[in-house]
Amino acid sequence: MQDLTREVRQFETAFLAAVDLPGRSARLRIFTEDEELDFAGHPVLGAAAVLHTLLPAPEAEERWALDVAARTVEVRTRGADRCVDATMDQGVPKLGPPIAGELAQAYRDALNLAHGQLHPALPMQVASTGLPYLIVPVQSGLDSARISHPGFAGLLEASGAKFVYVLDPDRPEGRTWDNAGRAEDVATGSAAGPAAGYLLHHGVRPPVEPLLVHQGRFTGRPSTIEVHPGPDGRLWVGGASGAGRGRTLLRPPDLTAVAPRDLRRQPGLGGRRSAAHSPRQHAAPVSATAGHAPGLRGRSGRSPARDRLGGPRATVTVQPSRGLRRSVNVEHGLAADAAV
């Protein structure tokens, strides 16, 4: 799974197994190019959206129980116009103690921020709804923020955080990257919940109103994510999801010289025919880039929380019986359909 994740090079790749469509449940594992994660927002939403499209009546409203690491996440899905509205229960956010002094200064410097750019009334603080983020509130400088410390992951360990989220609390708008600073994420569901929990905890936002968390503007791919606080303190995070499908031929290194017709006899390499495939298509379907790949048509939907992105946000791989593998690129907020 880790090797395939590095091959497809999405921000996250999610693998669905033990899929029980009648029982509306599945097991989900989530990987970045570097490691497996205990939780990530967009893969959970995308996985539920993909499962929803496999149902005989996808326009209905459904509830899913997805086992992710040591927790079960409830996701609600509902069919919409060429997309799926998906919302997940991230639970009650947990906040650590405020961070100040030398450690706060180290984080500020590592993020290319000046002292006067930090928010004067809000502290740095770790918040989590499954994946701990260091929330760094700013009053200015969001446009120039970046990870400039070569050992930033180790620096985060000092506060118990896994990633950082630089947050303008007034908009609200945030930015986050992989810990090497190589890539900026355009929409992060696992950070939107902690950011909302942080804002609610400090009274920046009223506890009864939904929030729209903005992200991705500085990459040219702006997005918004809906967060709905529940009366019990639980946060529901989501929006609209779309899926694009494509086909390619997967071969392990020791089979690169085998003719395609011989691959039909190899387990897990498309040997099982599907009624949706022509007799000459024996390769396992895998992901294609929504909005970029030939044969795919992407469009923004009508929901205000729909990301306006130009490519896939995550890849979800479904593994049904007999080794047939199907992968679907999931764009949270971009609906795409394949012309195949």
Give residue 251's domain range: 2-92+241-338
In this structure, the answer to whether residues 57 and 125 fall within a common structural domain is: no
Q: What integer is the mean pLDDT of 288-300?
A: 26
Q: Say which residue, 20 or 12, is predicted with more confidence.
A: 20
Closest by Cα among 40, 53, 52 to 129: 40
Domain boundary among 233, 263, 289: 233
Closest by Cα among 263, 243, 254 to 314: 243
In this structure, the answer to whether residues 274 and 206 fall within a common structural domain is: no
The CATH number given to whatever domain includes residue 309 is 3.10.310.10
d(CA 245, CA 289): 8
The label of the residue with tokens 């085998």 reads 258
Mean pLDDT (the chain, rounded): 77
This prediction's pTM:
0.72
Torsion (CA) 83, 87, 88, 91 in degrees, nearest 10: 170
In this structure, the answer to whether residues 252 and 210 fall within a common structural domain is: no
In this structure, the answer to whether residues 227 and 123 fall within a common structural domain is: yes
- pLDDT (0 to 100) of residue 195: 98
The CA distances from residue 275 to 178, 238, 278, in Å, are: 41, 33, 7
Is residue 276 pLDDT above 60, yes or no? Answer: no
What DSSP string runs through 138-200? BSS-GGG-----TTHHHHHHTTT-SEEEEEETTTTEEE-B-TTSS-B-S--HHHHHHHHHHHH
Is residue 107 pLDDT above 90, yes or no? Answer: yes
Least confident of 49-58, 106-115, 229-238: 49-58
Domain boundary among 207, 233, 259: 233
d(CA 251, CA 53): 27
In this structure, the answer to whether residues 132 and 173 fall within a common structural domain is: yes
- pLDDT (0 to 100) of residue 45: 92
- pLDDT (0 to 100) of residue 317: 53
Closest by Cα among 162, 126, 131 to 39: 131
In this structure, the answer to whether residues 113 and 186 fall within a common structural domain is: yes
In this structure, the answer to whether residues 250 and 294 fall within a common structural domain is: yes
d(CA 143, CA 111): 11
In this structure, the answer to whether residues 257 and 324 fall within a common structural domain is: yes
Beta bridge partners of 326: 318
10 Å CB burial of residue 211 (0-12, 13-18, 19+) is buried
User: Of all residues in the chain, what percent are helix, strand and coil, respectively (each to 5)?
Assistant: 20, 35, 45
Query: What band does 318 get if pLDDT is binned at 50, 70 and 90?
Result: low
Is residue 140 pLDDT above 50, yes or no? Answer: yes
Number of domains in the chain: 2
Residue 286 main-chain phi, psi, to 5 deg: -135, -175
